Structure 1
Amino acid sequence: MTHTHNAAYPLTPRLRDRTPAADPAQPAIALLLRFVVAMAVLLTAAAFPLSSFFTVSEIIVVGARNVSAGDILARSGLRVGQRLATVDADDVADRLTHYPWIAASRLNVSPAGRVTISVQERVPHAALPYRDAYLLLDPTGVALAVVRSTPSVPVIRVDGVALPWIRIGDRVPSAPTLDALRVLGAVPEEEIARGLRLRVDRAGSVTLTTADGITVLLGQPRGLLARIASLPQVLSAIRHQRLGVQYVDLRFTGSVILKLGAAPAGGGVRH
């Protein structure tokens, strides 16, 4: 009897049943394509605002009273139709604050093309005799303008100070004048509205004269703000009782001295 041995070999799977091997180049190509598409989108987005579709459509000036809107617009360098990408808000604001009447400014640029220029103006606070005219000053002593007519703000006279020249936009180089401005800032608004004069002598002592002729000796600037606190009540009492006084002495803290004399004149302030 013959025995036949058949060897067992693994069967080769059919070709169609095989899992196709992944091509290592395909993921790299996909990533590259995604990168190219993303960069194209970013470049398009970055370049789009530079196109003619984004331009200044309107310019609005807010907060201007003493300075005309046209003057502010001219100094800003902005114009309707220019590309929004060329509007440098910080540069424009800095350029405007070089104008003496403008203390601060800022820009708001909307995507629709509207540019709003907001300005904070300096306000005339006092006038200083200057040559044959008056120099308008803001509360910090910045020179705003030279006017020929009698100003509506209080006039400050400082003995021994004669400014040979002053550049508009600069702060007055006079410590007594700056002291007088600080004193004026503590004077009640109703007295300023009535009209008054302020004088600083060579020793630095301050004298105030009201519109109805009441002279107030305020003394040295040091400690003056505390002494001047009683001024409204003192002036109110003098006017209510129709007292005739030559002067009111507030040079000493905690005391009020009245020098009786002729009744105060009812005329306006002479400059």
Structure 2
Amino acid sequence: MMNGEDIDNKEIIDNTMEYKPLGTMDAINSESIDDTVIRGNVGKSVSGAAHEKPKRKIITRSGILRVLGVLAAFMAFIAIALSPVFVLKHVNVHGNTYLSDEEIIRISGVNLGENLFQLATDEIMQAMGKDIRIDQAIVRRNFPNSLDIQVVERIPLAIIKCDYGYLEVGRGGIVLDAHRNLSQIPVPIVSGVEVSDLFVGDTAENQQLSQVLDFLDKLNRDTATSIAEINISDPNNVMVYMNHSVQLKMGALDSLQNKLEITESVNREVKQAKHPIDYVDARFDGSYSIKLKE
């Protein structure tokens, strides 16, 4: 027979057994549980990503039409570019004074009948720039069948005699061209000086010639082209011969730079003179005298 105290203890024991906490050996580490859950989720996520099928790109009807439109436009451009309408028929040359149109075209390497779209204008300009006589060249297509060439020439200032003919020389004494015979170029001949072993692109290094070239370079164009010859055989008695058979006595070669205005003034008087002029004496700086023919 149990007393009340025993009954109470029994209930406590039963309750304790029913709600007995897990022992140390039976316990599951909470960290292991968390780790298992995390690894399980990650594994599932990676596995799912590996087996997920890539999305297919859908080509729409409008996309196909755009591609076909681009191809059609490209084919149309090719057909137009190769059309006989764009065959080169005319080459227009501008800015040349000393070089002929035919010579400019020859230097460019362009041939009539070529397709205008197939002409590389940059390459044409580079080819023309290699010619010492051309300072600058600009080439443009002029649709439908023309090509425009604009040039800036290196201006020849004088012609001098050499061992095999005649040379055109420009600023700085650069040889711009060579001729076997005296050519009809509207620049004066400088006599009294002769060079040898010079060719196109070389520089004539002669002090007296350099003084004459500097003088001619500073004259206005009208006066420079009115001079037929400058004789410097005697550096102290330079003679200038005008196109109208007028002799201009210039004095010392070193004084030429001081007589630019006198030379231009004499040129105007020679053109306006009503009576033939025999010679003009400009040996003294600042003044000159005119001797008329009898």
TM, length-normalised to structure 1? 0.59
* Separation of aligned partners in 1, 2:264 and 2:160: 25
Change (3 A) 1:66 1:231: closer
- Is the 2:191–2:229 contact (alpha carbons within 8 Å) kept by the matching residues of 1? no
More helix by share: 2
**For residues 145-156 of structure 1, what are the structure 2 equivalents within 5 Å?**
145-149=178-182, 153-156=187-190
Change (3 A) 1:234 1:30: closer
Q: Does 1:207 align with 2:238?
A: yes
Unaligned runs of 5+ in 2: 1-54
- Correspondence 1:217 to 2:248: no
Partner amino acid, structure 2, of 1:248: R
Give the counterpart of 1:107 among 134, 139, 162.
Answer: 139
User: Is the 1:206–1:220 contact (alpha carbons within 8 Å) kept by the matching residues of 2?
Assistant: no
Taking structure 2 as the reference length, the TM-score comes to: 0.55
Alignment of structure 1 residues 138-217 onto 2, 5 Å: 138=170, 141=173, 142-149=175-182, 153-157=187-191, 162-174=194-206, 176-187=208-219, 189-190=222-223, 192-193=225-226, 195-199=228-232, 207-211=238-242, 212-217=246-251
- Among 139, 148, 155, the alignment partner of 1:116 is 148
The alignment covers a number of residue pairs equal to 227
Q: Which structure has the bigger radius of gyration? A: 2
Aligned-partner Cα distance in 2 for 1:227–1:126: 18
CA contact 1:49–1:85 (8 Å) conserved in 2: no
Give distance in 1, aligned partners of 2:82 and 2:144.
14
Change in 2 beyond 3 A, CA 1:150/1:98: closer
Q: Measured at CA, do residues 249 and 65 of structure 1 come closer, stay the same or move farther in structure 2, by a change above 3 Å?
A: closer
Measured at CA, do residues 32 and 176 of structure 1 come closer, stay the same or move farther in structure 2, by a change above 3 Å?
A: farther
Amino acid at match of 1:220: D
Choose which of 242, 249, 253 in structure 1 pairs with 2:284. 249
Per-residue CA shift, 1:45-65, capped at 9, x if unaligned? 554455345642412243466
**Cα distance change of structure 1 residues 245 and 145 upon mapping to structure 2, 3 Å threshold:** closer
Larger relative contact order, structure 1 or 2 (CA cutoff 8 Å, min sep 6): 1
Counterpart Cα distance in 2 of 1:245 and 1:66: 30
Tell whether the 8 Å contact from 1:132 to 1:148 is kept in structure 2 after alignment.
no
Aligned to 1:51: 82
Equivalent in the alignment of 2:159? 127
Structure 1: gaps of 5 or more residues = 1-23, 267-271
Q: Aligned partners of 2:146, 2:238: CA distance in 1, in Å?
A: 52
Instruction: Look up the equivalent residue of 2:162 and give its one-letter code.
Output: Y
Which whole-Å CA distance do the structure 1 matches of 2:266 and 2:109 have between them? Answer: 53
Alpha-carbon separation, structure 2, partners of 1:178 and 1:78: 37
Contact between 1:104 and 1:120, CA under 8 Å: does it hold in 2?
yes
Checking the alignment, whether the CA contact within 8 Å between 2:108 and 2:124 is kept in structure 1 is yes
> How many percent identity over aligned positions?
15
Name the SS for the 1:214 alignment partner: strand
Please tell me the residue identity of whatever aligns with 2:137: S
- Give the aligned CA root-mean-square deviation in angstroms: 4.5
User: SS of the residue aligned with 1:91?
Assistant: helix
| Contact preservation (8 Å) 2:88, 2:115 | no
Distance in 1 between residues matched to 2:211 and 2:121, nearest whole Å: 36
Give the C-alpha shift of residue 75 in structure 1. Answer: 3.9
